[in-house]
Amino acid sequence: MSIDLSRKRILLTGGSGFLGAYVFEELIWRGVPDRSIFTPGSKELDLRKWESCVRAVKNADIVIHLAARVGGIGFNLKYPGELFYDNAVMGIQLMEAARQAGVEKFVCVGTVCAYPRLTPVPFKEEDLWNGYPEETNASYGIAKKALLVQAQSYRKQYGFNAIYLLPVNLYGPGDHFSVEDAHVIPALILKFSDANLKKLPEVTAWGTGNASREFLFVRDAARGIVDAAESYDKADAVNLGSGEEIKIRDLAEMIKDMTGYKGGIVWDTSRPDGQPERRLDVSRAKTEFGFQATTTLEEGIAATIKWYTETVLS
Ligand SMILES: NC(=O)c1ccc[n+]([C@@H]2O[C@H](COP(=O)([O-])OP(=O)(O)OC[C@H]3O[C@@H](n4cnc5c(N)ncnc54)[C@H](OP(=O)(O)O)[C@@H]3O)[C@@H](O)[C@H]2O)c1
């Protein structure tokens, strides 16, 4: 049965983050009054602390849990301990606090990094436990995957309505742009734009370029999360993706052309590729709650470059 979110009080953790800002917009667009959405930041309520989790869930009917420590390969290599601890402890405590407070529904947002390194492509939700994740993102992926077990256990023992979504790599306007810590799309946009400004003859990109990735435009991801919050109530995890895959080498060429950069690309093979291949089977989201991505990679990257040029560069 579908929930009328416009009548609910919603705790949206991570609401100030990249994805959170779009989920907030989507909720407003569907008629949820902004006074009904509580989006505490980490300064107001640090969710690594139990008392903050208890305060956060007070009066909430629905929890959408997005708060997390997140970054690209560089960030994962630098901070594996923090990524494990912060992501596990925030989620575990928040879900327990929500259960104790009698929250109606808990929407937990996981990550594609939870999948085993060599999952057959396209990744099906049933394959989640068939191996260890890619080493570079294992601590982040496993910390978040533990929350799936928690959600399923709470449903079994307490009848708690916790659902679990697995978005693929996201991108779009408002993303975090930094060479070392960012995800691949913002890192490449930044490098090519910077090389354009400085008239550099070449740009260095990480890895061999042979790995492939799937990307989901952040606004589509927000729509999928709110669709699931409204009308998906089962224990099984659900992938959220576009179902389309591109080699990093082709992605780099595409961004190079779209930023107007005329120089060359050098591949720094001393940097890791990360997981060799990533593409999700996106059929369950379509069957269960009618979600399908609608933004093409070209459209999404054009919007991201435009935002970066107008907002960050100017
Ligand atoms: N970005 C992707 O490609 C991607 C892909 C798949 C899944 N996801 C998942 O989507 C969710 C959102 O990711 P994002 O990219 O939007 O991340 P983000 O921009 O880095 O936002 C993270 C959010 O978490 C909050 N947060 C971090 N530590 C906290 C703490 N100790 N207490 C309370 N809040 C805390 C931050 O609040 P402050 O700013 O106030 O610190 C911020 O609002 C995450 O669960 C992530 O695993 C993201």
Q: Is the pLDDT of residue 180 over 80?
A: no
Question: Of all atoms in ligand 1, which is nearest to the CA of residue 39?
Answer: 43
Residues of the chain with pLDDT > 90, as a percent, come to 92
Q: For residue 72, what pLDDT band results from cuts at 50, 70 and 90?
A: confident
Residue linked to tokens 């989640």: 128
What are the tens digits of pLDDT across the range 128-149? 999 999 999 999 999 999 999 9
pLDDT for position 161 = 98
Q: Is the model's pLDDT at 243 over the cut of 90?
A: yes
Mean of pLDDT values over 72-95: 95
Superfamily of structural domain 5-173+214-245+277-295: NAD(P)-binding Rossmann-like Domain (3.40.50.720)
For 71, residues 6+ apart whose C-beta sits below 8 A from its C-beta are 79, 83, 176, 181, 182, 183
Kindly tell me if the per-residue pLDDT of 221 is higher than 90. Answer: yes
Q: With beta carbons less than 8 A apart as the criterion, state whether 162 and 228 touch.
A: no
Q: Which among 23, 87, 78, 35 has a CA at the least distance from the CA of 226? A: 23
140 noted as active-site residue: yes
Mean pLDDT for 79-107 is 98
Cis amide prior to 122 (ω within 30 degrees): yes
Domain ranges of the chain: 5-173+214-245+277-295
Q: Is the pLDDT of residue 152 over 80?
A: yes
Give pLDDT, residue 27: 98
Which pLDDT tens digit goes with each residue over 279-300? 999 999 999 999 999 999 999 9
Q: Which residue has the tokens 């089962």?
A: 234
Asked if pLDDT for residue 313 goes beyond 80, the answer is no
The model's pLDDT over 19-51, given as tens digits with 9 standing for 90+, comes to: 999 999 999 999 999 999 999 999 999 999 999
Tell me: pLDDT of 262 over 80.
yes
Q: What is the whole-number distance in angstroms between the Cα of residue 67 and the centre of ligand 1?
A: 4
Ligand 1 is surrounded, with C-beta below 6 A, by: 13-14, 16-20, 41-43, 46-48, 66-70, 86, 90, 109, 111-112, 167, 169-170, 183
Active-site residue (options: 140, 171, 232, 308) = 140
Cα distance between residue 129 and residue 32, in whole Å:
36
Q: What are phi and psi of 312, to 5 degrees?
A: -90, -45
Which pLDDT band holds residue 213 (cuts at 50, 70, 90)? very high
* pTM recorded for the entire structure: 0.96
Is pLDDT of 314 > 80? no
Mean pLDDT of 210-235: 98
The reported pLDDT for the residue numbered 61 is: 98
